[in-house]
Amino acid sequence: MEDIAPDLLLRIRASFQKRMEESSQIQSLLERIQSGGGTYGDAQNYAYQIGQALSQALGENLSSAVLPDGRMYYNIASRVLEPLLEEDHSIVSQAAKLVQQSLNQKAGIGIQAQTVPVNADRIAGIVDKISNGESFEDVAWVLDEPIKNFSMNVVDETIRQNVNFQGKSGLRPKVIRKSERKCCPWCSNLAGEYEYPDVPDDVYRRHENCRCTVEYDPGSGKRQNVHTKKWTTDGQRDMIEERKQIGLTSTDIFRPKDYQITIGAYVKLNSLELLEKAKAGKRHSHAGVYRDAVGKSKKQLQKSIISRTAQIERHADKIQNPESYVPDWKEKSSAYQEGLIRKWEKDMRRNAEQAEIELAVFEEMYGI
């Protein structure tokens, strides 16, 4: 028997390409998304159109007449549908990533847009369904709405991935689900605004024929310090920078209280406890930092506190703008990114503890 799969794939792919190129809706959505002005609503619409183009390309080339025994055998279905659905995924995923990237940029969020891997389970499900019919005509419906749904799901999952990733790194993004009029009671009930981590899984789900929109919102776009639960704002950073400049140029107006406030904005510490442990020489207590601090001159102590505070700020900036410090940050895996952010947070905390001890020594010796 002649193997028709390779030729079918070629013809469907050519038709899919042509439909995408000739669709003014697809092209104008793509233009908006590429120019940085796209929303997730646009990406969802784009995904729907891409899914529709694929669905039509399949419909145009597949029928009982061209298939052996008038049915879609598994080995044809898998070799034709898998690569095409993967292609759909990659086209839509790229657009969703661009949308997220521009939203991050607008919110001043220095976190790279995340993408999702292709959903092999869903592809397997579609291939199974289409190859389960006695005749192709019985199962042809699988190539319509389920394909569009597959395509739109890529966008929904991209939102989920980005919201969770940003949430884990201290941001509080939101998801806004809007129900398309007359969608269904389930969707009406689900419509609303949700803030990470209180986003139910269903918010990212889409039943067949559902055209509801799911939008990402950066929230305040500010990172919540995991220790202090305080927001770090740009304004606050500017003030800190100014204080640091004053501190560095003239030690005469060095005010320990200012540095405590600065450090406290980033890391919450129990300075009394830190100092007591260091004095007692407890393990992991920065006892060495305490001994050194006591032996330092006033000027040396001020310098050390200023320098440690600058370190804290540098780490805070790294956490907020990792791509400015790590080449190819966006190419790194999520595990790598999260690991490095955790390391910076640890370094920031260590510097803060050491600065607090020096500040305590400074206070004891020279007053506030």
Q: Is 355 in the site for Zn ion (CB under 5 A)?
A: no
* Residue with Cβ nearer Zn ion (149 or 260): 149
Task: Name the minimum Å distance from CB 180 to Zn ion.
Answer: 6
Q: Is 4 in the site for Zn ion (CB under 5 A)?
A: no
Task: Name the minimum Å distance from CB 212 to Zn ion.
Answer: 3
Q: At what angle do helices 298-320 and 334-366 cross, to 10 degrees?
A: 160
Task: Name the minimum Å distance from CB 207 to Zn ion.
Answer: 7
* Residue with Cβ nearer Zn ion (126 or 187): 187
* Residue with Cβ nearer Zn ion (185 or 367): 185
Q: Is 91 in the site for Zn ion (CB under 5 A)?
A: no
Stretch binding Zn ion (CB under 5 A), from 41-49, 58-66, 187-195, 290-298: 187-195
Considering CB under 5 A, how many residues would be counted as binding Zn ion? Answer: 4
Query: One-letter amino acid identity for 184?
Result: C
Q: Is 212 in the site for Zn ion (CB under 5 A)?
A: yes
Stretch binding Zn ion (CB under 5 A), from 74-82, 194-202, 209-217, 339-347: 209-217
Q: Is 214 in the site for Zn ion (CB under 5 A)?
A: no
Please, which of residues 29-48 interact with Zn ion by CB under 5 A? none
Q: Is 176 in the site for Zn ion (CB under 5 A)?
A: no
* Residue with Cβ nearer Zn ion (178 or 227): 178
* Residue with Cβ nearer Zn ion (212 or 341): 212
Stretch binding Zn ion (CB under 5 A), from 182-190, 236-244, 255-263, 319-327: 182-190
* Residue with Cβ nearer Zn ion (67 or 183): 183
Task: Give the residue among 226, 242, 191 at the shortest CA–CA distance from 316.
Answer: 226
Distance, CA of 55 to CA of 139 (rounded, Å): 13
* Residue with Cβ nearer Zn ion (210 or 326): 210
Stretch binding Zn ion (CB under 5 A), from 10-18, 205-213, 236-244, 356-364: 205-213
Q: Is 140 in the site for Zn ion (CB under 5 A)?
A: no
Stretch binding Zn ion (CB under 5 A), from 9-17, 186-194, 197-205, 324-332: 186-194
Q: Examine residue 146 and say whether the peptide bond preceding it is cis (omega within 30 degrees of 0).
A: no
* Residue with Cβ nearer Zn ion (54 or 212): 212
Q: Which of 118, 140, 183, 326 binds Zn ion (CB under 5 A)?
A: 183
* Residue with Cβ nearer Zn ion (210 or 248): 210
Query: One-letter amino acid identity for 171?
Result: L
Instruction: Print the SS3 string covering the chain.
Output: CCCCHHHHHHHHHHHHHHHHHHCHHHHHHHHHHHCCCCCHHHHHHHHHHHHHHHHHHHHHHCCCCCCHHHCCCHHHHHHHHHHHHHHHHHHHHHHHHHHHHHHHHHCCCCCCCCCCCCCHHHHHHHHHHHCCCCCHHHHHHHHCHHHHHHHHHHHHHHHHHHHHHHHHCCCCCEEEEECCCCCCHHHHHHCEEEECCCCCHHHHCCCCCCCCEEEEECCCCCCECCCCCCECCHHHHHHHHHHHHHHHHCHHHCCHHHHHHHHHHHCCCCHHHHHHHHHCCCCCCCHHHHHHHHHCCHHHHHHHHHHHHHHHHHHHHHHHCHHHCCCCHHHCCHHHHHHHHHHHHHHHHHHHHHHHHHHHHHHHHHCC
Q: Is 187 in the site for Zn ion (CB under 5 A)?
A: yes
Task: Name the minimum Å distance from CB 179 to Zn ion.
Answer: 6
Q: Is 191 in the site for Zn ion (CB under 5 A)?
A: no
Nearest-Å Rg of the Cα atoms of the chain is 28
Footprint of Zn ion on this chain (CB under 5 A)?
A: 183, 187, 210, 212
